[in-house]
Amino acid sequence: MEFKIKIFEKLDKDLEKIWSELENNSDLYVFQSYKWFENWHHTYLEKNKNYSLRVVVVEHNTKVISILPLQIQNKVKLNILKWAGDEELDYCCPILDKNFEFNKENFKIILNETLSKLEKVDILKLVKQPKIINNRSNPFVLYLKNYFDSKSYSISLPNRWKTYEENVLKKEFRSQNKRKKNSLRKIGKLKYKIFKDKNEINKVINDLFEQKNKRLSIKKAETLFEKKDFDFYNRIIRNEEKIFQIHLSSLELDKKILAMHLGAIHNKRFYYLILSMGSDLEKYSPGRLLISLLIKWSISKKLKFFDFTLGDELYKKSWSNSSSEYYNCIESKTFYGLIFIYFFKLKYLLKHYDKNRKFINILKKIKI
């Protein structure tokens, strides 16, 4: 079976053309769209000396059938092959031609040829991998040894809000939403606002990140949003393409913002990305009310899915009628890599079984 592997070490016009053409013939997430990836690359990778880009283009009989957006991390003299953006992007996976059938045999050929063309790889570490890429099996989960990592929740959206409320939301949950909304209406005038003006969007995004970090600090979260995260979304907005749209909205009470959300829309899917709310009137759950408005808006725009993205928090489950599984693959490729592979597996085990997070918090400080 004839396969040709080409590896790009930087983004250029040739790769953009190849990527964009495959994008039109594949079912991919917004995070694997070229423009999203390009902005990620400029913000996070371009000046990071510990990482180097390796985008693998796979051809079969002169036709591009897959793109593997990869990176190599150099750490303690280890070369670790990872999905590019595995720390910042919610889902990490290949881009697959929807008309090509991947099986175990051809997948192994492609992977082995890819590894042979790369410089020495000590460890293969692939995380945040969806078991199913939209409606297709992910060969990197199907044909490699993986470990379950987490779930994400989503809504397969019906045509009407009433149908969604009656068929998906539990009666008590609906009643709570209604009570909180009515209580806020007694205080003042509620308004759902979608921001359109780019200058206003830039200001509001800054407020959103500040508000979100304040809330994370109060909760003593391990990580906060950094300036580069803010820069990424600003760059996305400046370079916004028709392939996806950024969606910034708020819930206001008498013109005062109670909660904000930053998301994206791509291929009839709404991506729930960053929700923020202040401490004012927190008992009325303004964030929860904003989520209901986002879902209602998505239904009105005839979108097919509302994707809560990575993170299996219980509140997301309450809104959802579907879930997806995500897996990690960690393999050693050299004897040196084998020495460190047990450290990675220890981190995995502690993540799932260290209920008080005492040991996992210590290991997180050792960033391998």
C-alpha torsion sign, points 279, 280, 283, 286: negative
Q: What is the pLDDT of residue 204?
A: 87
Every domain of the chain and the residues it spans: 3-151+326-364, 158-303
Q: Summarize the chain as % helix, strand, coil (round to 5).
A: 40, 30, 30
The CATH-assigned architecture of domain 3-151+326-364 is 3-Layer(aba) Sandwich (3.40)
* 283 vs 135: CA distance, rounded Å: 39
The closest of 72, 127, 66 to 95, measured between CA atoms, is 66
Q: What is the pLDDT of residue 51?
A: 95
Asked if 169 and 158 count as a contact pair (C-beta separation under 8 A), the reply is no
pTM attached to this predicted model: 0.91
The two structure tokens encoding residue 221: 């979260």
Q: What is the pLDDT of residue 346?
A: 74
Query: Over its length of 368 residues, how does the chain's per-residue pLDDT go in tens digits?
Result: 689 999 999 999 999 999 999 999 998 999 999 999 999 999 999 989 999 999 999 999 999 999 999 999 998 888 999 999 999 999 999 999 999 999 999 999 999 999 999 988 999 999 999 999 988 999 999 999 998 989 999 999 999 999 999 999 999 999 999 999 999 999 999 999 999 887 888 888 888 998 888 888 877 776 888 889 888 998 888 776 678 999 999 999 998 999 999 999 999 999 999 999 887 788 889 999 999 999 999 999 999 999 999 988 999 999 999 999 999 999 999 988 888 887 777 766 666 555 455 555 545 555 55
A 10 A CB-CB count for 116 gives 9
* 165 vs 77: CA distance, rounded Å: 54
Residues 6 or more apart whose CB falls under 8 angstroms from that of 46 comprise none
How far from 21 is each of 42, 110, 165, 206, 311, CA to CA, in Å? Answer: 22, 20, 39, 35, 31
Q: What is the pLDDT of residue 368?
A: 53
Instruction: Indicate the helix (H) or strand (E) that contains 254.
Output: none
The single residue listed with the structure tokens 């300036």 is 227
Say whether domain 158-303 belongs to CATH 1.10.3720.10.
Answer: no
Question: Would you mind telling me the total number of residues written for the chain in this entry?
Answer: 368
Q: What is the pLDDT of residue 186?
A: 92
* 57 vs 65: CA distance, rounded Å: 8
Q: What is the pLDDT of residue 262?
A: 95
* 283 vs 346: CA distance, rounded Å: 40
Q: Residue type for 155, please?
A: I
Instruction: Indicate the helix (H) or strand (E) that contains 94.
Output: none
Helices (H), the chain: 13-23, 34-40, 104-117, 139-142, 161-167, 171-187, 198-218, 227-238, 286-300, 314-319, 335-353, 358-364
